[in-house]
């Protein structure tokens, strides 16, 4: 994996974690899923499975914080 790719994955990982944990307090379950679907859809066009897995990991984490999962 090249260095730029790893840096991008790390930035996405950290930004999703920080912003969506805060947002989970005000977003409904439907809105949380819509946000993650939109992010996953954009990233999915590039066929990047590792990044999509990160998105799904944080979807589950945020829903868990909301008490849904």
Predicted confidence at residue 26, as pLDDT, reads: 75
The residue segments making up the domain with residue 21 are: 3-65
Q: What is the pLDDT of residues 18-60, one digit of tens each?
A: 676 676 677 777 877 777 777 766 665 655 666 677 778 877 8
How many residues would you count in the chain? 69
HSE toward the beta carbon, residue 39, CA cutoff 13 A: 21
Q: How many domains does one find in the chain?
A: 1
Q: Within 13 Å and on the Cβ side, how many CA atoms surround 31?
A: 8
Please give the pLDDT value at position 17: 67
């Amino acid at each position: 994996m090249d260095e730029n790719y790893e840096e991008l994955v790390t930035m996405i990982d950290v930004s999703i974690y920080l912003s969506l944990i805060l947002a989970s307090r005000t977003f409904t379950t439907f809105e949380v899923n819509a946000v993650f679907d939109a992010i996953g859809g954009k990233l999915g066009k590039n066929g990047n499975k590792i990044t999509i897995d990160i998105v799904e990991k944080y979807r589950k984490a945020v829903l868990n914080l909301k008490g849904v999962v």
